[in-house]
Structure formats: C-alpha cells, structure tokens
Amino acid sequence: MIKKMTSLLFISVIPLSSALAKIGDCDEIQDGEIFYRSHSNYVEAYKKSVNPDSEEDTILWHTELFTEQYKSEYDPNIEQDVQWNIACVEKLTPKGNILTTDGKNRKFYINKHTGRVVYKSKQN
C-alpha cells in the first residue's frame, strides 16, 4: 500500500517539477553579434566576450519590467521568489523591437537598441 502511494506521488510530482522548470527556461535571441536574454523580471542585450580567457559578457542595456507600477501585486509576507512573474523574450519584430511576454499574458515591446519599453499590454 505504501509503495503504491509513493509511486503515485512520484509520478504526479515529476510533471509538475518539469513544468515549473520550463516556465523560466527562455531561449535567447541573436541579432548579428548582439544577444537578447531574459530572466525573472528583466531583459538585457549583450555581446559575448571575444577573449577566450574571459567569460564576461558586455552588457549593452538591462531593463527591469516589473518595478514600482507592479509593487501592489507583491505580498511582503510571502517569499519574493515564489511571486516572481517570469518574462521571456520571444522574437524580434519588423519594427526593431523585442517582443517579451510574461506569465500573466502581458506583452512588452522593447526597443532593441535602447532597452526602453515602447509598449506594454494590459493583463488579460
């Protein structure tokens, strides 16, 4: 009986942990020698190091998406990492913007040269 319950628990937890890992697993976008990546609440542009002795990337710009305007969405009594809203870079648009989406189905269009958010949609 215990072995059967343990197996059932193990089987039901694996898909959940795999799904949670994929939420924050965003691919980066390359445009020439510039790369765009996202992690948790930010998007950044960078150039990879050409020095084989250094793994330091050159950050061109770094933009936080969830700042003061979303402060009311966070509960100070809950750990911050539990409340993260993961942003993922999706693609470059013909107008030279980076389409980025988040876990709440909002879309952010970010100028690929400056890192400035040029448009963000409302929460669905």
Domains annotated for the chain, with CATH where assigned, are: 27-120 (2.40.10.480)
CB 65 within 8 A of CB 77: no
Question: pLDDT value at position 14?
Answer: 44
Consecutive 10-residue runs of the chain (124 residues): their mean pLDDT?
Answer: 54 43 72 91 88 84 74 65 74 93 86 91 66
Q: Are strands 107-111 and 97-102 parallel, antiparallel or unpaired?
A: antiparallel
pLDDT at residue 31 in the model: 95
pLDDT for res 20: 40
119 token code pair: 């448009």
The pLDDT assigned to 21 comes to 42
Spatial neighbors of 102 by CB under 8 A, at least 6 apart, are: 65, 66, 85, 86, 87, 88, 108
Quick check: 96 and 116 in contact, CB under 8 A? no
The first and second tokens of residue 22, run together, are 């994929």
